Chains A and B, each alone.
Chain A
Amino acid sequence: MSVVKDFETEHFPTWCPGCGNFGIWVSMKQAIVNLGYAPHELVLVFGVGCSGNMSNFINVYGFHGLHGRPVPVAEGIRAANSGIKVLATGGDGDGYGEGLGHFIHTMRGNWDMTYVVHNNQVYGLTTGQTSPTSMKGFQTKSTPSGVVEVPVNPLALAITSGATFVARGFAGDAKHLTSLIEQGMRHKGFSFIDVLQPCVTFNRLNTYQWFTERVYKLEEKEGYDPKNKMMALEKTFEDWNKNIPTGVFYLEDKPSYEDNFAQLSKGPLVKNRVDTQLDVSPLMEDFR
């Protein structure tokens, strides 16, 4: 069995003291350990931003790619090796700005992977500009008069785009977040976890205290049924000025993308690598 120490590297996180990324980092490692994975048994794909810097702080097969593109890289890894556990992680600018298209299309396919988004509603690494999830009116370096656009609703997008596990966690509640990541990783199909991640340096609005006053857990709410799509969708529209639901919004049992292909039924493609050329003479018959 692995222990948390196995996932540590020689680098200690360079995040600002108190950053929400610490809570996600701790929860992710704990979830992996709880599920019994050794460092070589999974791949973590990172986007670019403060979240992407985690790639140096966790000892697994890692892929630190381009801004907005961790999800398609993760798809490629799953295509090549459907036998390995794959997690993708990135920020709100990464996944809901630059990479929004990939996010939606990957969910449509229900690829078997877990996607964790560090949602701090601001651009941290580029020192404080508006993000796709910034609340309307939010003042930043790039929007000194306040954000004009309304924020994207990633959970509603996920529920309507085909994700089969949709959840929201809070970086300030590592125990709960650990459980959500664990459930997501156990889930077969696309599991998506949006994490409320306070940015202590550039977001003075959505702070730990602000969130703590508002978050509640869906599983503690009587009568909530995550298998009810309309109920789940409704919960994504709650007014954040009052309450912010966390926990598992939506759950569905459905074949994953990988289940659709006979090519993958003989095991991961990477196990079918060939060392000698394949006989293509039958193909040439069709061109005679």
Chain B
Amino acid sequence: MVTINTLQWKIGGPAGLGIKTTGEMFARLCMHAGLHVFGYTEYPSLIRGGHNTYQAYVSEKKIRAQVHLVDVLIALNKETISLHLDELADQAAIIYDIDKVQVDDIDLKGKQLHFYPIPLTKCAKESGGSDVMMNNVALGATLAVLDYDIANLHALIEETFGKKGEKIVKINKDSAHCGYDFVKRNFPQDFHIKLRSIGTSNRILIAANEAMGMGAIAAGCKFYVAYPMTPTSSILHFMAEYGPKYGVLVRHAEDEIGVINQAVGAGYAGVRVMCATSGGGFSLMTEGYGLAAMTETPVVIVEGQRPGPATGLPTWTEQGDLRFVLHAHQGDFPRIVLAPGDTQEAFFLTAEAFNIAERYQTPVILLTDKHLGESHESTEPFEYTKITIDHGELISDETLTKETDYKRYQFTDSGISPRSLPGQAGGVYLANSDEHDEHGDSVEGADNRTRMVEKRMRKFTMLEKSLPKPTLYGPESADVTILSFGSTKGAIFDAIDILEQEKIPVNFLQVTFLSPFPTQAVKEVVTKAKKTLVVEGNYTGQFESLIREHCLTEVHEHLRRYDGRPFYALDIVTKVKEMAK
């Protein structure tokens, strides 16, 4: 039986060989064929050596996560075959270097596989390229195996490398052709999976990190400051490349403490500012985070989680910082935490985070993780015109000239006070880390302290009231109701698709606002549900305990993982089936 357009392709090899770039090329090639793609990468915290992979799951229907089984494996070294043997589907293809990899002594554990020994290095050299070009040879070979027109790859090469000049384009094309021809000549038999174009699509292939950068630019972010840290460094790279064209000043600061304090300074002076880090960097930022809250300064902070504690697993994923960001810094103040679950949400929630930050004059945290931030998803172009911009209660020059006693921290019913910006005549005030009166001056009186704490917390109550309800996906009534947040969304959606085919009705409540927590909405869903399952990537069930804390109710089951790997749809399917029995 021949399968068309459903496959998972994977490339693996030592770091430093351009594996991610090649993976993205293949993913884009499939997207250009009108297909949906999810690209997932694994890599150790090394520059050279170590084992890197990129896998692209391709389908005609919408898919949102990687799967276990690999149909085509590009093995740039022998280790790749033994490391991923268990993932190989029956009848899978392995493309490898005929001159460098011996497969005779590998225990195939009884698997039926198709071997494609290709002169990867030789083709690369003959085309005038370096060793890295063997990726392209393998790409060419892939297309021959999948019986897909090489012209499509040539077009992509022109698009990708055109700027680098004709010579580079030619080397890329020639090396790809060499691999393609070799397969066509030596392996005439059909492979059981084929790639076919089903038309053109308008989609983009993007990771949430880039989507957040784009959302920030669209929302008028004017200062981006960060210190590199996996898995959010690519936001810095994106902003550094694209920000200046939109008037964004992008700064790689000396450390995360510098980052947050610079961000607070810029927010105080009146521009939209964003910074990003991971748990370790956010540990350094926590003092400045509270400073933003105390001085009522709008700042957007991205916390891209990776497994902790300490440096943990630097290049892997986890959702273990939820409780950390919900409680970071000393004392009480409005802690606002938003968690996007896919690239579309990453784009729009980032833009919305700026509005919330300015409207409520306080910092806002966007919680993501490595899996969300660095996995590629083919998605519809962002409808950026849907973004609105609300700077909140900024006081005008005119109003200030009439004001005889301007109070930056005026006690108001909403807790939000009219905000002046440095430079405005009549708006002079002190932004003060110490507890302060309505003017900002340090005072230690009990009455003022009580009123000021309550004023700040009223902003939280205001936001709580205006929260959008979390979305319940799927049927109103279901055998199992899944509750989750963040990057698990993709695998959960794919699991629901599979379960639907098996006639097991499942619905899914995705919580994007973790603080303020949508208590009523969650409580309603949990109370009505037949059986509830919480899926999350940490050991202690941090999200599950939030439900318990806010809703005073228990869920039935949970699925947790904390091995640095993302959830797979099948893990969820298995769990749901057990529960639905």
Chain A residues in contact with chain B, CB under 8 A?
9, 11, 38-41, 43, 45, 48, 53, 55-56, 59-66, 69, 72-81, 83-84, 101-102, 105, 261-264, 266, 269-270, 272-281, 283-284, 287-288
Are A81 and B270 interface neighbours, CB within 8 A? yes
Q: Is B288 an interface residue (CB 8 A)?
A: yes
Interface with A: B91-99, B126-134, B247-255, B365-373, which one? B247-255
Q: A76-B266, A81-B423, A273-B222 are in contact. Are A105 and B428 (CB under 8 A)?
A: no
Name the residue among A101, A273, A278 with the largest chain B CB count within 10 angstroms: A278
Contact pick for B433, options A43, A48, A102, A287, CB 8 Å: A48
With the chains together, A78 CA to B218 CA distance in Å? 23
Chain A hits for B258, CB < 8 A: 72, 75, 101-102, 105
Q: Is B204 an interface residue (CB 8 A)?
A: yes
Chain B hits for A272, CB < 8 A: 222, 247
With the chains together, A73 CA to B287 CA distance in Å? 13
* A88 nearest CB neighbor, chain B only: B265
Q: A63-B430, A69-B257, A80-B271 are in contact. Are A277 and B423 (CB under 8 A)?
A: no
Are B247 and A270 interface neighbours, CB within 8 A? no
With the chains together, A279 CA to B268 CA distance in Å? 26
With the chains together, A276 CA to B288 CA distance in Å? 29
With the chains together, A57 CA to B222 CA distance in Å? 33
Chain A hits for B272, CB < 8 A: 273
Are B422 and A277 interface neighbours, CB within 8 A? no
Chain A hits for B434, CB < 8 A: 64
With the chains together, A139 CA to B205 CA distance in Å? 64
Task: List residues of B (432-447) whose CB comes within 8 Å of A's CBs.
Answer: 432-434, 440-442
Chain B hits for A63, CB < 8 A: 265, 268, 295, 430-431
Are B382 and A9 interface neighbours, CB within 8 A? no
Q: Is B261 an interface residue (CB 8 A)?
A: yes
Chain B residues in contact with chain A, CB under 8 A?
28, 203-206, 210, 214, 217-220, 222-223, 225, 242, 244, 246-249, 251, 253-255, 257-258, 261-273, 287-288, 291, 295, 351, 381-382, 384-385, 387-389, 391, 421-434, 440-442
Q: A41-B423, A63-B295, A65-B264 are in contact. Are A277 and B270 (CB under 8 A)?
A: no
* B347 nearest CB neighbor, chain A only: A280
Chain A hits for B381, CB < 8 A: 281, 284
Q: A45-B265, A281-B384 are in contact. Are A80 and B430 (CB under 8 A)?
A: no
Besides A59-B428, A63-B268, A277-B385, 17 more A-B contacts (Cβ < 8 Å) are A40-B427, A43-B269, A62-B429, A64-B434, A66-B433, A69-B257, A79-B271, A80-B269, A81-B269, A84-B269, A101-B257, A269-B222, A269-B247, A273-B270, A277-B220, A278-B220, A283-B214
CB of A273 to closest CB in B, whole Å: 7
With the chains together, A63 CA to B265 CA distance in Å? 8
Contact pick for B265, options A41, A79, A278, CB 8 Å: A79
Name the residue among A65, A75, A83, A84 with the largest chain B CB count within 10 angstroms: A65
Q: A56-B430, A72-B253 are in contact. Are A80 and B266 (CB under 8 A)?
A: yes
CB of A84 to closest CB in B, whole Å: 5
Chain B hits for A74, CB < 8 A: 265
CB of A125 to closest CB in B, whole Å: 12
With the chains together, A87 CA to B251 CA distance in Å? 21
Name the residue among A9, A274, A275 with the largest chain B CB count within 10 angstroms: A274
Are B214 and A280 interface neighbours, CB within 8 A? yes
With the chains together, A90 CA to B480 CA distance in Å? 59
Are B265 and A73 interface neighbours, CB within 8 A? yes
Contact pick for A76, options B217, B254, B261, B425, CB 8 Å: B261
Are A64 and B430 interface neighbours, CB within 8 A? yes
Contact pick for B423, options A84, A279, A283, CB 8 Å: A84
Chain B hits for A101, CB < 8 A: 254-255, 257-258
Q: A9-B441, A288-B204 are in contact. Are A76 and B424 (CB under 8 A)?
A: no
Chain B hits for A76, CB < 8 A: 223, 225, 261-269, 273
With the chains together, A279 CA to B385 CA distance in Å? 8
Are A263 and B244 interface neighbours, CB within 8 A? yes
Q: A62-B440, A261-B249, A263-B244 are in contact. Are A284 and B382 (CB under 8 A)?
A: yes
Query: 3 tightest A-B contacts by CB?
Result: A76-B265, A80-B269, A72-B261
Chain A hits for B429, CB < 8 A: 61-62
* A55 nearest CB neighbor, chain B only: B430
Contact pick for A273, options B220, B249, B288, B428, CB 8 Å: B220
Are B223 and A269 interface neighbours, CB within 8 A? yes
